[in-house]
Each structure stands twice: as C-alpha cells, then as structure tokens.
A and B are shown apart, each in its own frame.
Chain A
Amino acid sequence: MRRWLNRQRSLADVALASLGRRRTRTMALLVVYALVVSVVAAVMLYAQAVRREAGRVLAQSPAVIVQRLQAGRFALVPDTYAEALRAIRGVQSVEGRLWGYYYDPVLKVAVTVMVAPEGSAHVVQDGHARVGPAVARAKGLSAGGQLLLITTARDVLRLTVDELLPDESAVLTADLILISAADFRALFDHPAGFYTDIALSVANPAEHRRVAEKVTTRMPDTRAIVRDDIARTYAATFSWREGLVLVAFIGVLAAFALFAFDRASGLSADETREIAVLKAVGWDAGDVMAMKAWEGALVSAVAFAAGYLAAYLFVFYVPAGPFDGALRGWTVVRPRIRLTPDTDAFQVATLFVLSVVPYTAAILVPVWRAAVAEPDVVMRG
C-alpha cells in the first residue's frame, strides 16, 4: 500500500512537471476542455433549474382543473357546475376561475389576464390592476401608473396599477395582469354566472385521478386535467429539450474527442524522447501509462472544475443566457428570472460521463502507443 502510494505520488509529480514544461500545449488543451465542459454543464444546469422552477409553479396549481367542452371546443362553465362538483367525494374545495388571453396591440403579444381567487392576497379592487414584471417592463409601468386595456366592445378600460407582482416566481407571473372580476367581465364581455374553468382541490393525492374520472362520468361535457399529468408532460418536455440541445452538442463532443486524440497521439519529439529515456532507465510501459493517466486526470480535474464553475456562474448569475430560447420557448414578454442555483451529485456524474469519459476514451490508445514505443532509440543519436 505504502509502495503503491509512493509510486502514485512520484508518477503524479512527474506528470505535473511534464505538463508544466509544455505550458502552452497544456493551456490550449485546458481551455478547450473547460469550454466543452462548461457548455454541456450550462445546458444541464439551466434545464434542471427551469425544471425545478416549473415544478414549483405546478405545486401551486390546482389538483384538478375542470373545463367544459362544447362541440369539441372550450366553452364557459356555468356556476351551477361548481355545486355539482362540490358533491363529489374527495373534493375539498371548488373554485371558479376567470382568466383569458389579452392581445396587446402595442406589444403585439398576448398576455394573461386573470382574476385572483377570492380570499387571496392579490384580490384587486375595481379600477385597479397588478401586473407581472415582464409586462411592467414591456409597457414601462410602475406602481401608481395607468394601464389602458381595450375591451371587446372597443372601449378603453382605465386601470391604476397598485403594485408590481414579485419577481421570484417569475415563470408564473411574468406576463400576468390581475384585475377585478367586474373589470374582467367588462374587458372580455364575459357573461355573469359563468367561469372560464373550475379548479378543484383534493386532499388525498392518490385520489386525484379517481376524482377526475368521476367528474367526467357525471358531467360528460367536461374534461378534467390532473396536475400530475401536466407535471409529467412538463418534465418530459424540458428533459427532451435539454436532450435535444445536448444532441446538438454531440458534434462538439466528437470534435473535442478528436482533438484530444490528436493531442495525445501527436507527441512532440521532446516528449517521445522523454518517454524513451524513462523506459531506458527502467520504467515499464505500465509506469508510463500510469504517468500519462495522471496527466489526463490532472487536466480533467482542472478542466472539469473550471468548466463547471464557469457554467454555474453563467447560468445563475448572468441573466437570460443563450439557451433561454431553446429550452423555454420564445416570447417577447419573457420572464427575466434569476434561477435558483440547484445541482446534485447525479447531475455532476452525468456531466462527468459526458465529458471526462470521452476524453479518457480518446487518449487511451495514443497513450498506450506512446508507452510501448521502443526505448532503444536513446542509444542512437
């Protein structure tokens, strides 16, 4: 054991010295390597954070949402349905919701207009509104400002902005305008006694699906959406997008592996001579390979740490990175969110497999070839 440790220590020493002697070469390799790691890491960190964010949003959304379909299209839900839903066993509370999309002719984009549920902290008085950060930014609004909306009847609805919605749950609130129920009905010419849809809360998570089934059997003209299904779709979509972006980087990874292979096989004359000298003075091919393995490990460790750190800072501390669009979709009123730093060991392991493993595989054969070279060239000038 002690011998083994001594040997490893000495080999690592030689490896370090050898890297130090070829400083430019090493630096070039390190930079490229770290860059590759950081690109892959950024995609993964970003996707994971967005996934987590979406999960948080979903956690706040209702367990089951009931929509009404008429001739295969969405229709408003009469408030009588709410009573019928309340009668279903397992349903804890029923809440009729009012919401819709408002096309803003100036921004040329649709924003979400919603009435905050009764009893929530965000209930707004008639003539007032609260807006999400992205909307506020796009329209240049601040608390106390005037928000003008055009109703379906072509009237102007003048609202005073109470306050801006907080930034932290930005995915949810970015493009949101909260108004009162009366203003909502005026804006969209929404008939009284009808809701957009109905949200159910169900105490026992295991019963979500059963409740949804009961709803559709009792009211055949409705559709019940279970939160878990949405969560599953979300998770799948985000992971799929993440995978897609990574596949786009497979070319980069392959190029990197090729680069590493080339670096490892194109030894300089100096290096070839050094290996021959080492073998001539009594190093075995196995010793040379172990020393080269140390070189690879040292380079990998530094590049991996640097690349990961760079990606971490980039994703969590530089707003709106370039992956934004690809991973979350495009919109003008894009939520500017500061993602919550979030990593785990499994993610690091995956990243390791996607970067260090290809590097190692790429240098394996060149290292072997260098290590078994004839030592007797040192006897000839």
Chain B
Amino acid sequence: MNAIELVGIRKAFNRGLATEVWALDGIDVTIPAGQVAVFSGPSGSGKTTLLSIIGGMARPTEGRVRLDGQDVSSYSERFLTVLRRMRFGFVFQDLHLIRGLSALENVMIPAYPLGNDWHPLRDRALSLLSRLDVVHRAATRVEFLSGGEQQRVAIARALVNDPPVLLADEPTANLDSALTTQFLGILESLSGDGRTILMSSHDPAVTSSAVIQRRIAMHDGRIVEDR
C-alpha cells in the first residue's frame, strides 16, 4: 500500500523568536494510494507548509511522517532527497522552470543525477510532452512559452521520474478558467494511471471538481473539515 500517514505534525517557524509562528499545529491524516485530494483553506492556513513536509522538502518540528508504513521523519537530507526523487513529483505554484533551457531540457533535468541513458530519457520526456500536448514546443526555451504551456511543461517535469505521488501547490492560481478546465482534464487522466495526487487550492473550480475525491479544509494549521 502506497499510503502517506501524518501523525501529530507540527511545524514552527522562527522558533524561540518573537516572530514564532506555528504554521502547522497538530495534523493527523492518512492518504491512501491513488487518491486525489485537495487541501483548501484561507491564505496562511498552512497548505504549502504541509505539502513541503509530505514531499520531504521540509522537516516537521514535531510528529512523524510515514510512507508505506516506513517512518521517514528522521531521514537524513541525502536520503530524503533520494526518497523525494523516487516518490514525488512537484508542481510549484510559481512553476519554477529553469530559464534559458528548452522545455525538453527542463523536463529531463530531474532525471540527470540518476545517470540513465540519454536517448530513452529524451523519448520519455517527449512522450510526456506529447501526452500533455506541448510536444511541438519541446525545443523552445521555456520563457517563450505561454502560461498554460509552461504549466504543462512543469507537470511533465514532475512526472519524468514516474513518481507515484504528484504534489501541486495552487496549480490553477495563474490560469484562466479555460486552462483550469484543461488542467482538471489532465488530472483526471493522471489519476487514471493510479497516481496519488495531492493539491492545495482555494479555487472553487478545483475544489468542487468531480475529479477530486477528497477535500480537506484547513485553518490556522489545523484540519477543520475532511470529506
């Protein structure tokens, strides 16, 4: 079972200073493999922080994270990284594509440290781009792509190592309604592959979408509703 379990997760910033904040304040949640879930809630409720902790990009101040029953909370950075690149694909709110590189190179970059052969890797990246309908832009430098194209490149990049879990932070924040619909279509197809998809969003178009199987509402670092 490819489940993500969070137990008693708390996260403080600026601990011990006057500016101390508890971005997360006791999160207990289990997400079974293959589920499409969205964390919603007002700004500052801790959605981004929670996704970073799940994805191994930040450590909880307290609490445990278990992946498939394995406690990874005290993993060293090196092994968190290994875990991250095998298990998680990220789509950041600001996309964070690397300017100056082509769409194709951006998609391939997460796989570089693995040392796989180049041609199969490029073919996989191209097939992802074509599945996401941007293959015609593969050789274009990313800064010349439109917002929607950029996002699809970012999704392709998140998928290049074929991770079982996709994490997306506010994926539709910069998209118009047509592109949002298109994005939800992509989600549906990815979910069809059996991938777990976790998102944060306060976009009603997303939270009310039929693709979403579970809606978790947050407030002040706590889960207030889960259905």
- A interface residues (Cβ-Cβ under 8 A, vs B): 2-7, 9-11, 13-14, 17, 20-21, 270, 273-274, 277-287, 372, 374-376, 378-381
Contacts and interface: CB of A to CB of B under 8 A. Distances in A.
Contacts of B77: 285, 372
A379 B157 CA distance: 16
Nearest to B49: A379
Contacts, number: 90
Contacts of A20: 100
B85 A281 contact: yes
Given A10-B115, A10-B118, A284 B90 contact: no
B57 A375 contact: yes
Interface string B108-139: 01101111111000000000000000000000
A282 B115 contact: no
Interface stretch (B25-33, B91-99, B144-152, B177-185): B91-99
Contacts of B90: 280-281
Interface in B71-107: 77-78, 81-82, 84-85, 90, 92-94, 96, 98-101, 105
B161 interface: yes
B98 A277 contact: yes
B78 A286 contact: yes
Interface in B170-195: none
Given A280-B96, A283-B81, 17 more contacts: A6-B116, A6-B117, A9-B118, A21-B100, A270-B99, A280-B92, A281-B90, A281-B109, A282-B81, A282-B161, A284-B78, A284-B113, A285-B81, A372-B77, A378-B96, A379-B57, A379-B92
Contacts of B112: 7, 10-11, 13-14, 283, 287
Interface of B: 48, 51-52, 57-58, 77-78, 81-82, 84-85, 90, 92-94, 96, 98-101, 105, 109-110, 112-118, 157-158, 161, 169
B101 A17 contact: yes
Q: Chain A: interface secondary structure?
A: helix
A108 B96 CA distance: 75
Given A282-B81, A285-B78, A17 B105 contact: yes
Nearest to B97: A277
A210 B112 CA distance: 70
Contacts of B48: 379-380
Interface pairs A-B: 3 shortest CB-CB: A282-B85, A3-B115, A7-B115
Nearest to A5: B115
11 contacts: A6-B116, A6-B117, A10-B113, A10-B118, A14-B109, A281-B85, A287-B112, A376-B52, A379-B58, A380-B48, A381-B93
B82 A274 contact: no
A380 B92 CA distance: 9
B4 to A, nearest CB: 17
Contacts of A375: 57
